[in-house]
Structure 1
């Protein structure tokens, strides 16, 4: 009996209703179906260390290991996973199923849905094509993010979009000592820094002035947030290079992954990033066309329309 999974956003009634409908339909067609909520892939925030208590400061922060986010009864025998929600649910689902290499058909029940493949009104036709095997699989790279204190692993997570290391509210400007691979370390003075995948190049990194990168390019990008220098600009580099970041500041910083969860970073800590051995796999019912998505979702490359001649500024 073939097997499929469904991951849905359980705080959206429409996603819950569609999940129930799909489960019933697939089981009637002799499919074994397992369901889970996107909540299982949420990272949460580690509790801050208390600098006044050495016992607490030296205690490792609790975290969920990357391969322990896999939902119960989900396994590599699944043909696919249907994800019902917005971009946040897709990011969560990617962390849940990437370690097993399961392809995701992403269905938008949210708003922008930049990471989703179809809208609800096209779901019936999409399921027909999915069950017939009429689709391609597109792979997207991910980042493995780890936080170390000395040699102790305090926190880790998979990231499909980006890792952000930034100051806390009311803290001053921060300095970051960053080393990419074997290259010489550099110092960046800014409110924060972003390390993004090509998928994440259209998210926070774009807002911070980073370039858009097509998903098939094997790179990471560094985007400083409000840098205190005209020389500190976005950098694109090979994703085969690991990255080490040390906060060269006395302030406690905040590490955030995919805008979802993270951990506090103390001055003696080190953040380590590398390309994950796991890729996020997306079911594409049409041949992937990234520029079309940019045009539809962000308005990139739209034809220029001249101002009307009646404008008072002409």
Structure 2
């Protein structure tokens, strides 16, 4: 990683952050004090001022397009939901992302608030764990014509509507029928998303270095429908054959409605996301902390009692 002066770092704030909020500005101050150029995403500004190219004291506010063109790194303050949204915004820019946990669990935002200085600077100056992770690309087609397409870092979920009943899906992989499914929904997850919704639906945890797609049925009508892991090269096509108000959700942040007869085509996106973890990052230690592995019920209760966010504590 570069150690020279003039490296540009973009700072992103938690959703709904205000200009008066101190966390992102504290991060920007720390970066400036260490000779980094800083761009603050203009999402922290009121909508009426986003196009004014404002400069506030030491901070230059920039649009996502300007950040894609000029930033060498992106520092994201917020929770995993904030991280997911910004990761999609920066997709294909290949800007390495660093997360500062301002949320709850923090599977992706792994620098604690009480450890920003010096951990963030150490990470940016090369004492870091580098990692690449895959996205999913999903396309919705109606009568053979593309209707929408989005990407997801965690998962793409097809689910039933609020009026009740199940969704009926025909699932094909590389042109071959895998099964016809009747269920509450279907999760298609990356290894990153295998610790999210897929895990709660009894899917397996995939180490992020694995290249693959996990398919996890949600409350299937046939109890023999089980999760399956597919190669990253798989082309998956899902046809909606029944159900009312069926939805397709990308990281549970972008939602589209589909009809009977619509198809959803899903494959791994060609470019990965690049993450920078702190120098002491350990994936299994993270799982032990976030999922409370190796803890007895008594230890678990004592560790979490009274804590607003146990993800901020070792």
TM-score normalized by structure 1? 0.81
1:183-237: CA deviations, max 9, x gaps? 3242011111000011111110111111111111111111111001121111111
- What is the aligned counterpart of 1:85 among 78, 86, 104? 78
**How many equivalent pairs are there?**
277
1:72-102 C-alpha deviation (Å, 9 max, x unpaired)? 3113552211000001011011102231001
Aligned to 1:246, which of 232, 239, 261? 239
Deviation of 1:170 after TM superposition, in Å, equals 2.2
Name 2:22's counterpart in structure 1: 17
Residues 15, 93 of structure 1: alpha-carbon distance in 2 compared, 3 angstrom cutoff: farther
Give, in whole Å, the separation in 2 of the partners of 1:203 and 1:165: 15
Q: State which of 117, 121, 124 in structure 1 corresponds to 2:114.
A: 121
Task: Give yes or no for the alignment of 1:196 onto 2:189.
Answer: yes
Q: Given the alignment of the two structures, is residue 151 of structure 1 paired with residue 156 of structure 2, yes or no?
A: no
Give the distance between the partners of 1:171 and 1:221, measured in 2 at CA. Answer: 26
Report the CA distance between 1:269 and its aligned residue: 1.2
Give the drift of 1:30. 4.2
The reply to whether residue 72 of structure 1 matches residue 77 of structure 2 is no
**1:2 maps to which residue?**
7
Aligned-residue Cα RMSD (Å) equals: 2.4
**Is 1:102 matched with 2:95?**
yes
**Structure 1 stretches lacking a partner, 5+ long:** 41-69, 307-314
Flag the 1:301–1:176 CA change in 2: closer, same or farther, 3 A: farther
- After superposition, residues 129-208 of structure 1 pair within 5 angstroms as 129-208=122-201
In 2, the alpha carbon distance for the partners of 1:272 and 1:15 equals: 43
The Cα shift of 1:175 comes to: 1.2
Q: Within 2, Cα distance between the matches of 1:152 and 1:38?
A: 34
Structure 1: distance between partners of 2:111 and 2:234: 34
List per-residue Cα deviations over 1:225-277 (Å, max 9, x = no partner). Answer: 10011211111111110111111115231111111121001112111110011
Equivalent residue, structure 1, for 2:248: 255
